[in-house]
Structure 1
Amino acid sequence: MNTPNRGTPLTAVIKEKIAASERHGVSDDGKKLSAIPFHQYMTLCLYHPEFGYYRAGTSRVGREGDFYTSAFVGDIMGEQLASELSKLAGQWFAEDADVEIVDWGGGTGRLSRQMLDAWNSEERPKTSALGKAFRLTVVEGNPEHRRLASEQLAAYVQFGQALVVEEWDRDSLGKNPAIIVANELLDAFPTHRLVQRNGKLLEWGVAVSEASGSLIHCLMKPEDPRLAAWMSEEGTTLADNQTVEVNLDAAEWVAGLAGRLTKAILVFIDYGDDSSELLAPHRMDGTLLCYYNHRAHNDPFFLPGGQDLTSHVNFSHIRRCAEASGWRELWYGSQKRFLMESGVMEKLSSHALTDPFHPTVRKNRAIRQLLLSDGMSELFKVQIFIKKE
């Protein structure tokens, strides 16, 4: 997608950061320019307190936003997840334990409502491990998403079974076991972008063109020692001109949870793959994508702060950091496999209905969409970790 470099209120902020930077990069035409790492640029675009994509007061998900999540494909994902979390709680936590469910980055609360509806359904087995002794907290930084989540969960909030907050206060929970659900959260962390050029490992940066005043790519020397350490841990060398994203922030967030939790389960649902796929020779340009008005393109300088920037999650990296911090991986596989093993096929119903809006028809269609549509069910992965005292 060839897009114009459109300015926004955030553009001026970014240019000021670049002008004040003590670091430099080299542009495609060989000019040495003041620059900031792409990681810093992405952080400003997504999380600037006033103009950042995930901080501005508009909804970013659903029909009026820029993308959909699996929670918008019927209620199936929430129902199956609720069933599996109940089983996990019964297997790993004491029978009489009060379980804290945390939907981290829970957006507008759709997935949380689906899980709560499932747990409170008359069809829920009375022996459910969660029973009534749990509370769900939605942690969400976007103020408009928090408002919508509060509306979605109003009945549950009223009865003390749900809470919507900007930040999660673990200290207020005592020593209750916790289940952290992160649905399309890890891909929202800003990433570093590395590239191999003429035998040297360099980092992509952002500068301002002297000719046009537009934001442009440049190459910088990587100063964060963790980047070289990451390459060493991967045990691989990039091909010449190959780019890769390194999500240090997501991995550190996962590792940091270990220090805040004693009995907990982590559930990640996101698009991505293992290192063997993400570093493969055919992945020359990395996986960075931009989403605007439900269209994907590859221009990160289009509408700074007004579009989503994201990259595939490296689940090998997440696994390494999690296990080094005391987590143990319980399960990893595609979303399709997760849904199949959770019994989703049992919810398909034979019928002769012709009304496309009939609940039975809609449920069947949602199941097929989650399992088959555009290969997304294979691209999305589910990764589950456990940590016990």
Structure 2
Amino acid sequence: MNEAPLEILFAILVFLILCSAFFSSSETAMMSLNRYRLKHLVGKNNRGAKRAEQLLERPDRLIGLILIGNNLVNIFATSIATVIAMRLYGDAGIAIGGVLLTLVILLFAEVTPKTLAAYYPEKIAFPFTLLLKPLLTIMYPAVWLINILSNNLLKLFGINADTKNEQQLSREELRTIVNETSPHIPSRHQGMLTNILDLENATAEDIMIPRNEVFGLNLDDDDDTLVEQLRSSEFTRLPVFRDDINNIVGLLHLKHVSQLFDQRGQFNREAMMDTISPPYFVLENTPLHTQLFNFQQEKKRLGIVVDEYGTMQGLVTLEDILEEIVGEFTSNIADNIEEIFPQKDNSYIINGTINIRDINKALDWQLPIDGPKTLNGLLLEHLETFPDAAAGIRIGNYGFEVLEISENIIQTARVRALIKKRH
């Protein structure tokens, strides 16, 4: 080696530095690959992705191969650089060569190639697998031996390298991914995806039509009253009950209303009883994603929400759940009634029967939703009594003023978001 021309030694040194850059960039690129995008590309029969997935099935072997190769070429490069430096500078060349080689390796074999690989992992990893796979086959005995030794060392620390590390995303992590990919997903679709993830956090009680707002048919009413209610109904499905809403006997779909009248146009109560379908009951604490599946399985579109004692609390429909995902889309008159009225002083006059979640969505507020579901219930819980008119209270960062009470219900309240004081 001492007699070899300097030109050949420099050529060998350059080749070794390029090899070091190859192994360094390979390591960064392979470890930087997005595993979920990799699976997607494998599904599209991308050859480079398939090779990368095979190598990543045993990352310990891949890392072992890369580190063996990188250390070998760096050690040989050090030896060659020492010979060159000593022939040029004598004994002082050992220090000079070490410093210069360190700078060269850092710049051309470590920092630059690894940075490039981190920015473009697929463009670098997929072509490089063409060399990594045969190299792994050739160097497999050395890789196997190194892995056996290193895995046994890991076992001393309670780590089993043979156990597969399955990367599973939590709901919050998946939400972060959806938000991070916003340039590639339309904002409306992004909102729908996050709303689907939120279904698990809401229950039937959160979105149900409250009992006091349920419109139904009372069999104790006379025929004329029932006919008038059928003609004026804005809903396609009506609960049918006797005496009290808790005593529901079934549901009537208005598509069958023509069957309720005889040839002379007279209302037939017995025909109505034969037409109604059995009621479908839903527990109030059923998560929305579960209830959506239940509606699908049972082929239902409306459920009677009951508490643990079987007392009717309200109604939940398939449309209500779908609106939690895609937003308001119904054209029912009842759904277009305004319940939040902005005022000039930046406050809002809000109906007491409105759902707290609807207020939070409409105004981007953070009112508590863990307890009562309506504004009336929230205020009564904190007031702990039925207040006189104009009673005021503060809940969190929001101020409330009761404006109207009737029938033991807070009908309207003035609400404003309070400005937090800065210390």
Give TM-score scaled by structure 2 length.
0.24
Compare the two structures and name the one with the higher helix fraction: 2
Compare the two structures and name the one with the higher strand fraction: 1
Q: Which has the higher contact order (CA 8 A, sep 6+)?
A: 1
**Larger radius of gyration between Structure 1 and Structure 2:** 2
Give TM-score scaled by structure 1 length.
0.25
